[in-house]
Amino acid sequence: MWKSPKPEDRPVTPAATPAATPEMKKEFRPMEAPRPADNFRSDVAHIGKSVLVKGELSGSEDLYLDGEVEGSIDLQEHNLTIGPHGRVRANVKARDVIVHGKVDGNIHGTERVELKRSAVLVGDISTQRIVIEDGAFFKGAIDIKKEAKPAAKTEAPKAYAAAASYSDQGSLTPQS
């Protein structure tokens, strides 16, 4: 009465066959290769923890710096990332500057400067955009620059306005 039935005593029921379901077309999307962390991209030059550079450091590619630099860093049109072991005693010029380590010197980022929570910066910042994470140490001044507008775009409306004012007069000859 209270015993469970033995498996051979249970009635055998055939497995239910699934009803025909309409096939849904799946959109084929090629799988993108996973992107490595920005700090370790193959198109970025690396300076390791044990490297010490004294003097001027310049280049025409992005740079990940985890060593030490004394002097100046000039990467005008490129990005500079100072890693968590990076120690810089230099003035820095780059398009985007991301600081995880320590910098003693001024930073000029033409587009953006970002101080991560582990950053220590003693010096001034000059940039268009700035990000300072909670926990970052910063002692210095910040100068936010406005985006430089190309001169060619501002010249065209002036020339057009001048031409329109001449055409309103009916002729380009001076009237007496």
Render pLDDT for 73-92 as a digit per residue (tens, 0 to 9): 999 899 999 999 999 999 99
Q: Where are the domains of the chain?
A: 38-144
Q: What is the DSSP string of 21-60?
A: -PPPPPPP-PPPPPPPPGGG-TTSEEE-TT-EEEEEEE-S
The residue among 18 and 118 whose pLDDT is bigger is 118
pLDDT at site 79: 96
pLDDT band at 158 (very low <50, low <70, confident <90, very high): low
> Hey, how many other C-beta atoms are within 10 angstroms of the C-beta on 70?
15
pLDDT at site 34: 41
Cβ atoms of residues 54 and 71 within 8 Å:
yes
What is the mean predicted confidence (pLDDT) over 31-44? 52
In the chain, what percentage of residues exceed pLDDT 90?
Answer: 56
Q: Calculate the average pLDDT of the chain.
A: 78
The residue among 4 and 51 whose pLDDT is bigger is 51
pLDDT at site 13: 60
Cβ atoms of residues 73 and 88 within 8 Å:
yes
pLDDT band at 147 (very low <50, low <70, confident <90, very high): confident
3-state secondary structure of 15: coil
Q: Which residue(s) pair with 120 in the sheet?
A: 102, 137
Alpha carbon 118 to chain centroid, angstroms: 18
Cβ atoms of residues 116 and 136 within 8 Å:
yes
Burial class (CB in 10 A: 0-12, 13-18, 19+), 122: middle
pLDDT at site 19: 58
The residue among 24 and 111 whose pLDDT is bigger is 111
pTM: predicted TM-score of the whole model, two decimal places: 0.61
pLDDT per residue over 100-131, tens digit each?
A: 999 999 999 999 999 999 999 999 999 999 99
pLDDT at site 157: 54
pLDDT at site 43: 81
